[in-house]
Amino acid sequence: MRKIIIELNSLEITAAAARIIASDLFAGAILLLWGKMGAGKTTFAKSLCAGLGVLPEIVTSPTYTLVNIYHGKMPVYHVDLFRLTEQEQLDDFDRQDLIAEQGVTLVEWPEFIPDYLTDEPVLNLCFKTVSENQRQLILQSEFSNFDTIFKTLEQPILSLLKGAANLDKDSA
Ligand SMILES: Nc1ncnc2c1ncn2[C@@H]1O[C@H](COP(=O)(O)OP(=O)(O)OP(=O)(O)O)[C@@H](O)[C@H]1O
Ligand SMILES: [Mg+2]
């Protein structure tokens, strides 16, 4: 099990962390975004999607459906299960309705999703509100598929910001 805690002391740092993580994602990766209302899950998802080649403007929490599908350099499924109150409400959904096998899946309010998953690579991201502009992000995974992400995030925050700026330049 790998675990790292990052202080997201500004929106810029949140965006940079998301861009860095996006640059090492792969088809089949599942990111579970934990945290209370306003903790920063969707804000993080927007930058992560930008890093995957999706226009951040179109990234909003799914309202009328449980999942939004975006087309970036690979498909991105953005699931939000906030309104679910029971596991049974997921029974009408097939796995492939919620999980992008050929792309990246992001799940906000993932409380009911783990029963759905078998052995696919999951990265847990838990957002905590510290103050108005500060969040803490705890990343955890049992899967070695995410080792590069953990290694990169162990670098000092300044190098991360610089790294993210370079990624922006590359994709411009
Ligand atoms: N360092 C930070 N990182 C992320 N968001 C921040 C930060 N500082 C302030 N914020 C603000 O916190 C809010 C987070 O809202 P967001 O919609 O991303 O939360 P959420 O976790 O998706 O909530 P919900 O469960 O209601 O969907 C935004 O208004 C964002 O601008
Ligand atoms: Mg949200």
- Which atom of ligand 1 lies nearest, measured to the CA of 8? 1
> Structural domain tally of the chain?
1
Ligand 2: centre distance to CA 11 (Å): 15
- Which atom of ligand 1 lies nearest, measured to the CA of 109? 25
pTM of the entire structure?
0.95
Banded model confidence at residue 85, pLDDT cuts 50, 70, 90: confident
Single-letter residue type at 23: S
Share of residues in the chain with pLDDT > 90 (%) = 72
Q: How many residues does the chain have?
A: 172
Domain range for residue 153? 2-83+96-167
- Cα–Cα distance, 32 to 67 (Å, whole number): 14
Ligand 2: centre distance to CA 41 (Å): 5
The CATH number given to whatever domain includes residue 120 is: 3.40.50.300
Ligand 2: centre distance to CA 51 (Å): 18
Is 172 domain-assigned?
no
> Each residue of 31-50: pLDDT tens digit?
999 999 999 999 999 999 99
Is 148 domain-assigned?
yes
Collapsing DSSP to helix, strand or coil, 20 comes out as: helix
47 CB less than 6 Å from ligand 1? no
- Cα–Cα distance, 121 to 83 (Å, whole number): 25
- Supply the pLDDT for residue 34: 98
E-state strands within 2-145 = 2-8, 30-34, 67-71, 75-80, 104-108, 122-131, 134-141
- Which atom of ligand 1 lies nearest, measured to the CA of 43? 18
Ligand number nearest to the C-alpha of 14: 1
Question: Above 80 in pLDDT, residue 115?
Answer: no
Ligand 2: centre distance to CA 40 (Å): 7
- Supply the pLDDT for residue 87: 83
- Cα–Cα distance, 48 to 90 (Å, whole number): 26
Tokens found for residue 121: 């690579």
Is 152 domain-assigned?
yes
C-alpha torsion angle, residues 84, 104, 56, 80 (rounded to 10): 0
Is 69 domain-assigned?
yes
Choice among 38-42, 54-58, 137-141 with the minimum mean pLDDT: 54-58
- Supply the pLDDT for residue 100: 95
- Supply the pLDDT for residue 94: 86
- Supply the pLDDT for residue 172: 64
Is 162 domain-assigned?
yes
- Supply the pLDDT for residue 31: 98
133 CB less than 6 Å from ligand 1? yes
Mean pLDDT of 70-75: 95
Is 91 domain-assigned?
no
Question: Above 80 in pLDDT, residue 135?
Answer: yes
Question: Above 80 in pLDDT, residue 63?
Answer: no
